[in-house]
Amino acid sequence: MNKVSKEPLNTSKKYLDPEVLARLSRLDIKARLVVEGFMSGLHSSPYKGFSQEFADYRQYMPGDEPKRIDWKVYGRNDRFYIKEYQEETNLRTYIMLDKSGSMGFGEKISKLEYAKYLSASLAYMLLKQKDSVGLATFDEKIDQIIPPSVKRSNLIEILKLIDKAEPSNETSLSNVLYQLAQKTKKRGLIIIISDLLDDPTSVVKALRSFRYRKHEILVFHILDLKEYEFSFAKAALFHDLEDGSEMVIEPSMIRTSYQRKFKDLLQFYRHQLLESHIDYETIFTTTRYDRALFSYLQKRGRLK
Amino acid sequence: MSFLHPLYLIGLAFTAAPIIIHLWFRKKLDKIPFSTLKFLKKSEARRFGWLKIREIVILALRCMLIAFIFLSLARPQIKAGFLKPGHLASVILIVDNSYSMAYADNFRLAQESIETLLTRYSSKSEFAVFALCRNDTSSYPDRDLWIQKGKVIDRIRQITITNMTGTIKALSRNFIIDQARYSVEFIYIGDGQEIVFADFPRELFIDRIFQWVKIRSGNNVGIKKVSLKDPVALVSDTYVLDIYIENYGSKIWQGKISLQAEDYVREQDCEIQAAHEKKISLTLPVNINKGTVEIYDDSLSVDNIYYFSKSLPKRMKILAVGTIRYLESGLNPTDPINGPFLLTAAETISGRNLQDFDLVILNGLQEISNSDKIKLETFLMKPDKGIVCFLGKSVGDNLSNFIAHCCRAEEYIATKGYVTLDWVDYEHSIFQVFQHTNVLKNIKIHNYYRLNTDKNTIAMLTGNNPFIVIDKNLAVIATQFLPQNTDIVYKSVFVPLLHRLILGTAHQSRDYELYVGDQHHQYGELKTPTGEYIMDGQELLAPGFYTTAKDTIGVNVAASEGNLKIIGNEAAKALHVNIVDAVKDFELGDMSTTFLLLALFALLLELLMLVIH
């Protein structure tokens, strides 16, 4: 019995694994599977009732759905009371999906693929909890943008846009953020999914300017393990996915130095962004999606 | 640049091999798309910069290595030039055909240089070809002065080496510049001896190009002269020859000097410092009076043979006219048979055949007859004869007239005390041996004739009165050698002085050489070394021994020609002469070794680069 009951749970959870998910074709299904897999794991988690918040009790009125009667209160005082839930304030969320050339890099799945599933999953989850969600794809500049909306139909548009995102051009995150700042007057949550391969100082500066406008920011720094470890075995001709330049590199010669510099970069982002109260998560393309979704929920929780 | 084996140049195509291999290996490398190299470049900028430079340098070195090897195999020959091809001008070409150009292949090199030079000129250019030194075969271009480029070589080939000297100054009379169609340029091709540029007519070359195509000369060691050490010495069994050798070069010269006279050979090692002259004295038996002196191990050996022919006094027959008491004691032979002088005393000249004598002494004669005067004058016409005239208390008209071409006897002076020799020309051969003694200074003269002359006074008395005057082969002494006139007769210097005076007047012992280019007058018909005859007044054309019926005359190349003295670069530049080196600028240089060394250098550099890695 247990085995039977656990089966759907395991099945849904397995889609939190990026590699498994990558085998599926339809993005909407991927998003749903990820979120469902994630949600099923939340039953024992402290994050209950994330979509609605208890507000007050009121007396049962004819016409109310009987299922909304709080039977525990009836048991205590023999009166019918209905539990009133306060609808959450509509959170305007922008998912910023980096589709620059560098995002095309990845050993098993590319950073962009990972980012796309993550974006889709987040969008699905956000809409599911009635938050308005929009999406912008960008490289050097904002490529396309879908304004935030709580409509179900918006998800379809978002998924379409995510689906057609292909890696191209260079990253200019700072420029993109300045552009977005022009378009978003209302406060909201900005989720940036990017490899942040831009000038770190200007990226941090641009993000801080968002914070200054009272926006909440969550940065998912998407990385590939190879990119982090530079664990290439032999000399090769490295091709820059952004500017197309090429260089013959003997990895063993520069690995140590590279790793040190890369760690320094991550440290810089972590330190600078946390200092600015910007949530920052380094996500490897091998990381399960629930971690990213948890990060979101933590953030969401703080925003209540 | 030209190549002896140009086919090897095809191999230069292999220069591309390292690049192709490099690109091929580069292509063979796995191509890894990577998020961005921006960060890599930034973090490793210096290292990548170095690696990239190193990669390019190694590639370039490999290409150069291959290129240098094939260039070396192709035997590149370089020749620099001082003119751009197609140069248009009216060119006056002066070809040095002096004797020094006979050294090694110099004349051929000069001709080849001209051929190379011609390739630089436009076919429209015109040329006037001049031989620096005139001879029979290389005449001045008195017809068709300006010729076309195509005819220059033929004209050049007509020029042959001569034993003469020439100067640009002398040649410049023939330059007819007015008829030139283009801008006139001068080119002198030769070894550039100083004499060539003597009195260089700079005014002619103002605003015109004068190029000197310099042909390198040999070592500058030459025999300047071979002369009798003491031409007025009394010759007994031997005599001494002084050989003057000069090293004109800038390096020490070590070699041998050889004197050959028929079977007689003397050799001596010799060392001369740079720019120094050395005198070598050789003692020879009197029967060796002609031969050759030659320098060995000198680059210009043809110029270093000196043909010497010396006139050595035989037993001299002297006719002493007048009082001979004291002269006799001075000239009396110690060996009556083999002594140097055979003295005949006479009261007068009349009745004596002067042709039997070599020297006549007129000792205190107060007058001579007209016929004697004519006889004496005829006697004097022979250069190897001489007259020594000691003046007595009075000088008659005929005698005065006879000595008039030498000096005038004005007044007989009887001093109350004495006068001495105030000045003596110690450079004169008669007095040379007394130069470092004071034996002449102590001679007292009591009575003497005051002479008036503008001729060669070789001794003077107190008060600037000439005491001994020599004109060619006539010597006039202002007094008689008698005790009442001078105390010389009691002094040890008397005999040697008397001997030297006689030998110095009769000129029997003398250097008997002439130089190429001289015109001879006194020998009549001369037989040349090649057996031909040249007549009086004709030029001597080649070195060697020339003979007359009774004499042998050594003819040499003039010291200025035979003993090279090249004009210095600075001196030439001061004359606004542009110097072009015929070897550097015309001769083909084989660059194969240079390229091979460059290849080796490239290889070493590559190894060094790999070691640095």
List chain A residues with CB under 8 Å of B33.
Answer: 104-105, 238-239, 241
Dihedral, CA atoms, B414, B420, B425, B426, nearest 10 degrees?
140
Confidence tier at A300 by pLDDT (50, 70, 90): low
- Partners of B547 in the β-ladder: B527, B552
Q: What is the 3-state secondary structure (H, E, C) of A5-57?
A: HHHHHHHHHHHHCHHHHHCCCCHHHHHHHHHHHHHHHHCCCCCCCCCEEEEEE
Give the count of alpha carbons within 13 A of B122, CB side only: 9
Contact between chains at A241 and B36 (C-beta distance less than 8 A): yes
pLDDT digits 0-9 by tens, A29-85:
666 666 666 655 543 333 333 344 555 677 887 777 787 788 888 888 888 888 766
| pLDDT computed for residue A59 by the predictor | 80
Closest Cα of chain A to B52: distance in Å? 9
What's the pLDDT score for residue B3? 74
Q: Is the dihedral of CA A279, A284, A287, A289 positive or negative?
A: positive
Q: A32 in contact with B at a CB cutoff of 8 Å?
A: no
Cβ-defined contact of B33 to A261 (cutoff 8 Å)? no
Q: What is the pLDDT of residue B583?
A: 66
pLDDT, mean of residues B533-554: 86
Give mean pLDDT, residues A128-148: 86
Looking up tokens 């390019």 gives B56
Of A241, A249, A253, the CB nearest to B33: A241
How many angstroms separate the CA of residue A102 from the nearest CA in chain B? 4
Q: Does the beta carbon of A247 lie under 8 angstroms from any beta carbon of chain B?
A: yes
pTM of this structure: 0.45
Highest mean pLDDT among A5-14, B163-172, B210-219, B389-398: B389-398
Alpha-carbon separation of residue B22 from B15, B25, B32, B60, B413 (angstroms) = 12, 5, 18, 11, 113
pLDDT for res B127: 92
Among chain A residues, the shortest Cα distance to B33 is held by A239
Q: Please name the residues in contact with B56: beta carbons below 8 A apart, sequence gap of 6 or more.
A: none
Q: How many CB atoms lie within 10 A of CB B183?
A: 13
Nearest CA in chain B to A246: B37
Nearest to A232 among B32, B47, B48 (CB): B32
User: Looking at the DSSP assignment, which residues form a beta bridge with residue A14?
Assistant: none
- The model's confidence at residue B399, banded by pLDDT at 50, 70 and 90, is very high
Rounded CA separation A67/A61 (Å): 13
Enclosing H/E stretch for B337: none
Element (H, E) at B14: none
pLDDT, residue B362, reads: 93
pLDDT number for residue A10: 46
Q: Please tell me the distance from the alpha carbon of residue A112 to that of residue A222, in angstroms, as a whole number.
A: 9
Contacts of A261 in chain B (CB under 8 A): 39, 43
Is B142 an 8 Å CB contact of chain A?
no
Confidence bin at B371 (pLDDT 50/70/90)? very high
Size (chain A), residues: 304
The SS3 assignment for B605 reads: helix
B38: chain A residues, CB-CB within 8 Å = 197, 240, 242-243
Residue B185 · residue B208 · CB < 8 Å: yes
CB A188 within 8 A of CB A91: yes
List the single residue in B29, B36, B40 with the smallest CB-CB distance to A258. Answer: B40
Instruction: Indicate whether B481 pLDDT > 60.
Output: yes
Q: Which residue has the higher pLDDT, A4 or B86?
A: B86
Distance CA B545, CA B554 (A): 5
B350 contact A CB<8A: no
* Interchain CB distance below 8 Å, B44 and A242: no
pLDDT in tens, A1-38: 333 333 334 444 555 566 666 655 565 666 666 666 66
d(CA B445, CA B494): 13
| Chain A residues within 8 A of B34 when measuring between CB atoms | 105, 227, 238-241
- Does the structure show a pLDDT above 70 at B490? yes
Residue A197 contacts B where some CB pair is shorter than 8 Å: yes
Q: Do the beta carbons of residue B592 and residue B78 sit within 8 Å?
A: no
User: How is residue B574 written in tokens?
Assistant: 């001061």
Shortest CA gap A236–chain B (Å): 5
Number of residues that this document lists for chain B: 613
> According to the model, what pLDDT value does residue B467 have?
95
Nearest CA in chain A to B27: A237
* B36·A258 Cβ contact <8 A: no
The residue with greater pLDDT, A11 or B322, is B322
Closest residue in B to A168 (Cα–Cα): B35
Per residue in B113-128, is it b (16+ CB within 10 Å) or e — as a string? bbebbbeebeeebbbb
Query: Chain B residue closest to A103 (CA)?
Result: B35
CB pairs under 8 A between A and B: 81
Q: For residue range B562-584, what is the model confidence (pLDDT) as tens digits?
A: 556 778 788 888 888 888 877 66
Q: In the predicted model, is pLDDT for residue A171 greater than 80?
A: no
Closest-approach residue (CA) in chain B for A265: B39
HSE value, Cβ hemisphere, 13 Å, CA-based, for B442: 10
Q: Do B48 and A257 touch (CB under 8 A)?
A: no
In Å, how far are A15, A38, A195, B422 from A219, measured between CA atoms? 23, 20, 10, 125
A239, B36: Cβ pair inside 8 Å? Answer: no
Arithmetic mean of pLDDT, A229-257: 82
Calculate the alpha carbon distances from A212 to A133, A187, A204, A218 in Å.
Answer: 21, 11, 12, 14
- What's the pLDDT tens digit per position in B414-448? 988 899 999 999 988 899 889 888 889 889 999 99
Q: What's the confidence (pLDDT) of residue A8? A: 39
pLDDT at B337: 66
- Give CA–CA dist B292/B545, Å, rounded: 9
Chain segment B269-296, per-residue pLDDT in tens: 989 988 788 999 999 888 888 999 988 7
CA B412 – CA B426 distance, rounded (Å): 27
**CA–CA separation, A198 vs B39, rounded Å?**
9
The pLDDT tens digits for A71-94 are 888 888 888 888 766 544 567 888
Mean pLDDT score across all residues of chain B: 84
- Kindly state whether B550 is in contact with chain A, defined as any CB-CB distance less than 8 angstroms: no
Tell me the chain A residues in contact with residue B48 when contact means C-beta distances shorter than 8 Å.
247
Is residue B460's pLDDT more than 90?
Answer: yes
Contacts of B53 in chain A (CB under 8 A): none
Alpha-carbon span B524 to B514, nearest angstrom: 14
> Residue B120's pLDDT band (boundaries 50, 70, 90)?
confident
Q: Do A227 and B35 touch (CB under 8 A)?
A: yes
CB contacts, 8 Å: A238 with chain B:
31-34, 37, 40
Q: Within the 37-96 window of chain B, which residues sit less than 8 Å (CB to CB) from chain A? A: 37-41, 43-44, 47-48, 55
Any CB–CB contact under 8 A between B28 and chain A?
Answer: no
Q: Nearest Cα to A148, choosing from A170, A109, A118, A180?
A: A180
B204-260 pLDDT per residue, tens: 877 788 888 888 776 678 888 898 888 888 777 888 999 998 887 767 888 889 999
- Is any Cβ of chain B less than 8 angstroms from the Cβ of A237? yes
Closest CA in chain B for residue A240: B36
Q: Are B8 and A234 in contact (CB under 8 A)?
A: no
Which residue of B lies nearest to A200 if distances are taken between CA atoms? Answer: B39
Residues of B in contact with A253 (CB under 8 A): 47
Inspect the interface and report whether the beta carbons of A240 and B47 lie closer than 8 Å. no
CB contact under 8 A, B31 and A237: yes
Report which secondary-structure segment, H or E, holds B32.
strand B31-34
Which residues of chain B lie closer than 8 angstroms to A229, CB-CB?
A: none
Chain segment B2-34, per-residue pLDDT in tens? 677 888 889 889 988 888 888 887 767 788 888
CB contact under 8 A, A234 and B48: no
As a whole-number percent, the residues of chain A with pLDDT over 90 amount to 9
User: Rounded to a whole number, what is the distance in Å from the CA of A241 to chain B's nearest CA?
Assistant: 5
Closest by Cα among A192, A203, A205, A207 to A103: A192
A139–chain B Cβ distance below 8 A for any pair = no
